[in-house]
Amino acid sequence: MSKIILTGDRPTGRLHIGHYVGSLRRRVELQNSGEFDKIYIMIADAQALTDNSDNPDKIRENIVEVALDYMSAGIDPEKSTILIQSMIPELTELTFYYANLVTTARLERNPTIKSELQMREFGSSIPVGFYTYPISQAADITAFKATTVPAGEDQMPMVEQTQEIVQRFNYIYGETLVTPHILLPSNQACLRLPGTDGKAKMSKSLGNCIYLSEEPDDMRKKIMSMYTDPEHLRVEDPGHLEGNTVFTYLDAFCKDDHFAEFLPEYNNLDELKEHYTRGGLGDVKVKKLLNNIIQAELAPIREKRQMLQKDIPYVYEVLKKGSEEAREVAARTLDEVKAAMKINYFDNDALIQASIAKYSN
Ligand code: TRP
């Protein structure tokens, strides 16, 4: 069986380094590993509209921002297909049929939906489209027969929901759809990178993000004022690693050879951590190291972005071509789905013959 990746993001803002370590960096590695037969990366504008219906301009603008982030981080349109969700109307049709296989009680139990509802303070005015987006996400994944969904932990309930829909569909209508699996980040720190203020998640509304395209100076300022250990007041004090954002970021970004380059007194992160917990290592030194590492990793991405920004028509061309190619694939799956559901009345000679026979005596 082919190995196929589908993953994506909502275009609600520029991508930040949480997106980068949580999924984008991995996608680029998977793309370049050559292990996958097809890779689809979706800009999920229709999903973004489920809770932004009053702000279409925001979604529209951010489609290009996200595409720029993808391509500057190393997503190569020659190797991966970047597509815009709304340009594939077949997805909506799949969603409509899958909706019959999911109960409202099941949607209510979805932990991601639960926490998103809480964050958005919808109260009792939940848009139906938002409430049912897990079904539409199942359409996204199955339309491309994806086997693998590289994504953050928060997408687990969506993939589980998809697995259930696939199972139920195949059970009722016969083996048609492919069961996908989530591919989580391998490193704990990358699962959910906290905001620079130490709060649970990076989010634009909390103002605690470092963007992928952040200017070097702003990036340094944000890193130098990051949350660390509030009890680590003097350099000689023993420091704590748990909940210490700077160390969580180091876990996500640091490799052993960074030490030779930026801080040769230590061989690796374990030695640095040991010194910090023992006492005698100041926060500023650790933050400087982190700044050097992140700047080094993001500089080529920023440069690539600046180049791409000079050729916006090319970016649109990539999105258009990718969406067209993806649409053909989704249309084939939709045909199979409808045939399995017996929704093929006019291209089915056996059906016409059976009707003729029924009324001929
Ligand atoms: N729900 C994802 C997010 O919030 C975006 C998304 C839409 C997605 N469709 C997808 C992710 C399919 C993985 C697979 O970022």
User: Could you tell me if 190 and 357 are in contact, meaning their C-beta atoms sit under 8 angstroms apart?
Assistant: no
47 and 99 part of one domain: yes
pTM: 0.93
User: Helix, strand, or coil here: 306?
Assistant: helix
Which residue has its alpha carbon closest to ligand 1 atom 12?
7
Predicted confidence at residue 157, as pLDDT, reads 95
pLDDT per residue rounded down to tens, the chain (361 residues): 899 999 999 999 999 999 999 889 999 999 999 999 999 999 999 999 999 999 999 999 999 999 999 999 999 999 999 999 999 999 999 999 999 999 999 998 999 888 888 877 777 788 899 999 999 999 999 999 999 999 988 899 999 999 999 999 999 999 999 999 999 988 777 777 899 998 877 887 788 999 999 999 999 999 999 999 988 888 899 999 998 999 999 999 999 999 999 999 999 999 999 999 999 999 999 999 999 999 999 999 999 999 999 999 999 999 999 999 999 999 999 999 999 999 989 887 888 899 999 998 7
Is 227 found in the same domain as 156? Answer: no
Which pLDDT score is estimated for 143?
Answer: 98
Distance 339 CA to ligand 1 centre (A): 27
**What pLDDT is attached to residue 323?**
98
Identify the residue whose C-alpha is closest to ligand 1 atom 2: 9
Whether residues 155 and 182 share a domain: the answer is yes
Distance of CA 301 to the CA centre of its chain: 18
For the chain, what is the domain count?
Answer: 2
- 162 and 52 share one domain: yes
**Cα 137 to middle of ligand 1, angstroms:** 7
Domain that holds residue 264: 216-308
- The domain that holds 132 is classified in CATH as 3.40.50.620
Parallel/antiparallel/unpaired status of strands 148-150 and 81-84: unpaired
N-to-C CA span, the chain: 48
8 A C-beta contact, residue 253 and residue 280: no
On whether the CB atoms of residues 4 and 150 are closer than 8 A, the answer is: no
Cα–Cα distance list, 116 to 97, 104, 123, 131 (Å):
25, 17, 11, 10
Together in a domain, 290 and 169? no
| Whole-number CA gyration radius for the chain | 24
Q: Which residue minimizes the CA distance to atom 5 of ligand 1?
A: 9
Residues 152 and 299 in one domain: no
Q: Is 73's C-beta closer than 6 angstroms to any atom of ligand 1?
A: no
Buried b or exposed e, range 219-237, using 16+ CB within 10 angstroms: bbebbeebbbbeebeeeee
**Nearest C-alpha neighbor of 309 from the set 68, 11, 67:** 68
Q: Is the domain of 137 the same as that of 96?
A: yes
181 and 235 within one domain: no
Predicted confidence at residue 126, as pLDDT, reads 86
Q: What are the DSSP E strand ranges found in 93-223?
A: 148-150, 181-183
Q: Is residue 358 part of a domain?
A: no
* CA 39 to ligand 1 centroid distance, Å: 14
Give, in order, the Cα–Cα distances in Å from 169 to each of 93, 102, 142, 218, 328.
15, 10, 11, 50, 22
